[in-house]
Amino acid sequence: MTTILLIYTGGTIGMIKDYNTGSLRPFNFDKLIKNIPELNQLDCDIDTCSFESPIDSSNINSEHWIQIASIVEDAYENYDGFVVLHGSDTMSYSASALSFLLENLGKPVIFTGSQLPIGDLRTDAKENLITSIQIASLKQNNKPVIQEVCLYFEYKLYRGNRTTKLSAENFEAFWSLNYPALGESGVHLKVFSENLYQTKKNKKLIVHKVMDSNVAILKLFPGFNALLLESFLNTPNLKAVIIETYGAGNAPTEDWLIENLKIAIKKGIHVINVTQCSGGSVTMGQYETSKHLQGLQMISGKDITTEAAITKLMYMLGVNISPKLFKTVFETSLRGEIS
């Protein structure tokens, strides 16, 4: 029988309504089967573990990502799959981070959550939880069907490092605009095998446990000026910065922008060009307003999401990628995060 480890970090999905008081309280995951009897219909054994102090996902940081990765590492040989329950606000960041921390992953790690608590009358929590466990337990020829970090929400399974949260109100909160869904839940549970990440066979899992948070994101806007840019780039200990540009990687052609970026790059700060559009790709040189950035040898984020870009930077700095190779490695797909 397939064995699944359910990891609860916090978030709305972990709350249940106390009907005597009307307030929300943490759900006791030790009584998971009792509270969600539908899980008995799944052909798998489910164990649970929880953060000692469950957190709101707005408080998530790189230490928590390493904690989740360590839980997976310690339990890796004893379970066929993992489901991580997480608040939706930063779930795309966490799923992206785990994809980089878990190198040579050969089993499913499925992130899920909900917009409404598990005890709410109209909750989306039960379906998200039940289907995530079912997906994590899928096997073919005695091997896991899914061998990557994914995010499941509202009937869709996505590659985790391709997702972005686009709605704070709709049940369909997440989208993967630059990569197709990996699966879909309807009358039948469909997995689109042609979209799955192909892991290298017979490679042992490597769990990375260092991330460098000396990174930042700067979003361009009309009226952005030299003083703001200078102040930003002179942040102490800054090692890498994502510039969220317009459209296909475009930016103002002002001299002060070019000069400040030149100085930053000369100082050894890695500067990455990522589009602020939810979908699409950076193509430097396509327009006149991006040729000057191409000339600076800025790193192209291509069609990476901001969530994946920032966590990839933290990972790459943590494993001490050589400055000479940094641009090449970042522009290369490591876990399917770039087309």
Q: Which residues touch 168 (CB under 8 Å, ≥6 apart)?
A: none
Residue with tokens 């087309």: 339
DSSP sequence for 50-82: E-SS---GGG--HHHHHHHHHHHHHHGGG-SEE
Annotated catalytic residue, options 2, 3, 9, 12 = 12
Q: Which residues touch 202 (CB under 8 Å, ≥6 apart)?
A: none
State how far the Cα of 89 lies from the Cα of 87, in Å rounded to an integer.
6
DSSP sequence for 238-267: --EEEEEEBTTTB----HHHHHHHHHHHHT
Q: Residue 89 in contact with residue 55, Cβ under 8 Å?
A: no
CB atoms within 10 A of CB 185: 19
- Catalytic site includes residue 12: yes
CB atoms within 10 A of CB 132: 28
The H-or-E segment that residue 158 falls in is strand 156-159
Residues marked as catalytic: 12
